[in-house]
Amino acid sequence: MISQFLPIVSWGKEYNRSVFGADLIAALIVTIMLIPQSLAYALLAGVPAEVGLYSSILPLITYAVFGTSRTLSVGPVAITSLMTAAALSGVVEQGSADYLTAAIVLALLSGLFLITMGAFKAGFLANFLSHPVVSGFITASAVIIALSQLRHLLGVNTQGDNLASLSASLFLALPDINVITLGLGLCSLIFLFWVKEGGVRFLASFGLSPKSAQLISKAAPVLVVIVTITVTSLFALDTFGVAIVGTIPKGLPLFQIPVMPIELVKSLIGPAILISVIGYVESVSVGKTLAAKKRQKIDPDQELIGLGTANIASALSGGFPVTGGFSRSVVNFDAGAVTQAASIYAAIGIGAVSLFFTPWLYFLPKATLAATIIVAVVSLVDFSIFKKTWVYEKSDFYAVMITVGTTLFFGVEIGVTCGVCVSLALHLHHSSKPHIAVVGLVEGTEHFRNVRRFHVQTIPEILSLRVDGSLFFANAGFLEDYVYDAVFMNDRVAHVILMCSAINEIDYSALEVLESINERLIQQGVNFHLSEVKGPVEDVLKRSGLLSHLSGKVHISQYHAYRDTRELLGINKK
C-alpha cells in the first residue's frame, strides 16, 4: 500500500474543515514557540541564527510526508545541536564558512544513514540502547549545555566541551563579566523559570482554563524576546558590550546540493551515526508516547525514513541535523494538532518569519537565547535515574554512572560512544547468562516451580532444569557449564530433564552444545530428556538429528517427563 511508504496519504484522505481548524491553531502556537527555540539551538550548534530557522522549515514538511507520528514536531533540538557543535569543533573553525558547510554535510550524512537503516528495516537496533544509558547521557549532556550557555549569560568568552574545561574557563573569565548582559540574562532566566513553574496558576487566576493557561505560558519565550529586543534597542545596550544576534538575512533558504569533500566525510561519518542513533531514539520515544495517548501507533522502520528525509531536507536547505523534539511535540499535541498538516502550517509560519521579520531580531541579546536554552534543558536532567537503577539493578546503575561520567568529563562524542558500548555490553552480559532454575513438583498439582521460591517435591535421582530464554551462541556455554556442575555436585543424578517452555529458538551453536551435553551425560550414565518443546524448535531439532540419538525422550509436559522417569527408577510416590 502506498500509505505504508507515504503516511500522509492515510490521514490526508480523512482531512476536513474541523481538522484543518485544529491543526491551524496548533501550528500558530508551535510557530510562536519555534522562533526563539530555532535561533537558540543555532547558537548552541555554533551556526548563524538564520540556519536555525532554515532547519525548521523544509524538515517539518518532509517529515509530514514520510513520518508516521501525527503529532511529532521535527527540528533542531538541544542534544543534537550540542552533538553537532562537538562533532564540528575538532574538524573546522567555528564561525568560518567551512563550519557551516560541515554542519550541512553532517545533516546529509545523518539523513543518508537513517534512510539506509530504514531500507533494511533496522529500527530494532535502537532497542539495544538501554533506557538508563540514554537517560544518563541526556542528563549529562543537559548539564554541559547549561554550563556552556553561562558564557552568553555572563557576557564572557570561554572555551571547552566538558565539565572540567568549561568550569575552569568560566572561573578564569569571572573578572570580565558584563554586568548589563548578566542583568538581562538573569531577568530572562528568572522570568522563564517563574512562568514554567507558576505561570499556569497565575493565568488560571484570571479565569483561563488550565489548558489555555498552559498553552499561553509556552509562548513566554517570545515575550522575553520582544521585551529584551526593545530594551536593548532603546538603550543601545550593544554599545555597552551586550552581545546581540545582529543581522539575520531575509528570505528563504536556497535549495542546493552541498559539496562533500572526501576528507570531511571521513571525519564526520562517525559523529553522523551517533547523532542519528541518539536522535532516532529520542524521536521514537516521544512519538510512541504521544501516539499511545490517542490509541495510535507509529512504525519504527518508517520513522527512520521520515527522520532521514527530514535531515536530507535540512541539508539541502542549508540546515544542520534535526530530530523530533520533546517540548515542541508535546506543545503541538496539547494545542490540539490532529495531523502532520499542523507541521506544514508551522513550516509556512517559520518561512514567513524568515521572509519578513528577521530585521526585527537584530537587537536580540544572545543572553536571552542562552536563558531560553537553559530553561529548556533543565527539564531533561533526571538525577533520579541514579537512585532508581541502584535500587532496581546494580549493573544498570554502573552503566549510568559510566555514561554520565564519560560524557561530563570527556565530552558528548566519547560519552555517547561509551553509552552505546555499555548498552551492548549489558545486553550481551544479560543474554549470556539466562536465568536457569532447578524446578520441582508442587504438591497436589502438575505444576513445576523454582525450588528456591516454592515448597516443592524433588527426587535426588532426577534433575529438572528450566531455562528462561532462547538458546544461542552467547549463552549456550553457560547452560552447558550449569548442567555439568549440577550433575557433578550430585552423583545420584540418573536423569536430567531440560524444561523448554521458555525456549523460542535454538541456533546452531546451541544445538552443538545440546549434542555435547547429551554425549557427555551418556558417558556418565545419565539420561538427557527434553520437555515442553515448542513446535518450531522441535522441528529444528528433528532436522538436526539430535532427537534420533537423544539418550532420553522428548516429553509433552514436564509432569509427564517427571512421571515417566520416576517410573523408570521404580519410584511410585507422586
Integer Cα distance of 533 and 152 in angstroms: 65
* Region 98-109 average pLDDT: 94
CA angle 264, 61, 372 (to 5 degrees): 75
Higher pLDDT, 4 or 245: 245
408, 445: one domain: no
Determine the residue type at 257: I
452, 379: one domain: no
Q: What are phi and psi of 497, to 5 degrees?
A: -115, 120
Q: Provide the pLDDT confidence category of residue 504 given band limits of 50, 70 and 90.
A: very high
220, 356: one domain: yes
Question: Strand locations in 370-461, DSSP E?
Answer: 435-441, 448-450
Q: What are phi and psi of 440, to 5 degrees?
A: -140, 170
127, 267: one domain: yes
In a domain, 22, yes or no: yes
Integer Cα distance of 518 and 533 in angstroms: 16
Considering Cα of 284, then 428, then 121, then 539, what sign does the dihedral take?
negative
In a domain, 574, yes or no: no
197, 71: one domain: yes
CA angle 447, 449, 452 (to 5 degrees): 155
Is residue 573's pLDDT more than 60?
no
Which CA distances in Å does 360 have to 226, 249, 318, 393, 565? 9, 11, 22, 53, 86
| pLDDT on residue 445 | 93
Among residues 426, 459, 480, the one where a domain terminates is 426
229, 345: one domain: yes
Q: What is the CATH number of the domain that holds 469?
A: 3.30.750.24
Q: What is the pLDDT of residues 537-566, one digit of tens each?
A: 999 999 999 999 999 999 999 999 999 999
Is residue 128's pLDDT more than 80?
no
Q: Provide the pLDDT confidence category of residue 387 given band limits of 50, 70 and 90.
A: very high
H or E element, residue 447: none
In a domain, 469, yes or no: yes
Q: Provide the pLDDT confidence category of residue 1 given band limits of 50, 70 and 90.
A: low
Most confident of 119-128, 426-435, 501-510: 501-510
Cell representation of residue 477? 556455554
Q: What's the full length of the chain, in residues?
A: 574
pTM: predicted TM-score of the whole model, two decimal places: 0.83
Q: Which of 571, 533, 563, 572 is closest to 550 using CA atoms?
A: 533
Contact 377, 113 (CB under 8 A): no
Q: Which of 139, 2, 8, 124 is closest to 62 using CA atoms?
A: 8
Q: What is the pLDDT of residues 412-438, one digit of tens each?
A: 888 888 888 888 888 788 888 899 999
Residues β-bridged to residue 438 = 465
CB atoms within 10 A of CB 478: 17
Integer Cα distance of 402 and 240 in angstroms: 44
Q: Provide the pLDDT confidence category of residue 408 given band limits of 50, 70 and 90.
A: very high
Q: Provide the pLDDT confidence category of residue 572 given band limits of 50, 70 and 90.
A: low
Q: Is 382 helix (H, G, I), strand (E, B) or coil?
A: coil
Q: Which of 222, 203, 317 is closest to 31 using CA atoms?
A: 222
Q: What is the pLDDT of residues 341-380, one digit of tens each?
A: 999 999 999 999 999 999 999 999 999 999 999 998 988 8
Among residues 426, 459, 483, the one where a domain terminates is 426
Integer Cα distance of 564 and 556 in angstroms: 11
Integer Cα distance of 294 and 372 in angstroms: 30
391, 450: one domain: no
CB atoms within 10 A of CB 179: 11
Maximum C-alpha span of the chain:
101
Q: Provide the pLDDT confidence category of residue 256 given band limits of 50, 70 and 90.
A: confident
Mean pLDDT score of the chain? 90
| pLDDT on residue 431 | 84
65, 84: one domain: yes
Count of helix runs (H) and strand runs (E) in the chain:
26, 8
Cell representation of residue 237? 545596550
Determine the residue type at 202: F
Is residue 94's pLDDT more than 60?
yes
Q: Indicate the number of domains in the chain.
A: 2
Residues with Cβ within 8 Å of 230's Cβ and at least 6 positions away in sequence, in order, are none
| pLDDT on residue 574 | 47
Integer Cα distance of 293 and 479 in angstroms: 42
Cell representation of residue 118? 530504514
% of the chain surpassing 70 pLDDT? 99
Query: What is the full DSSP assignment across 67-101?
Result: ---SS--EE--HHHHHHHHHHHHTTS-TTSHHHHH
Q: What are phi and psi of 471, to 5 degrees?
A: -105, 125
284, 309: one domain: yes
216, 273: one domain: yes
Contact 240, 182 (CB under 8 A): no
Contact 153, 182 (CB under 8 A): yes
414, 447: one domain: no
Among residues 395, 426, 457, the one where a domain terminates is 426
Integer Cα distance of 501 and 467 in angstroms: 8
CB atoms within 10 A of CB 431: 15
Question: Structural domain of residue 459, as residue ranges?
Answer: 435-568
| pLDDT on residue 351 | 95
In a domain, 283, yes or no: yes
Integer Cα distance of 117 and 122 in angstroms: 5
397, 513: one domain: no
| pLDDT on residue 3 | 64
Considering Cα of 446, then 449, then 454, then 458, what sign does the dihedral take?
positive
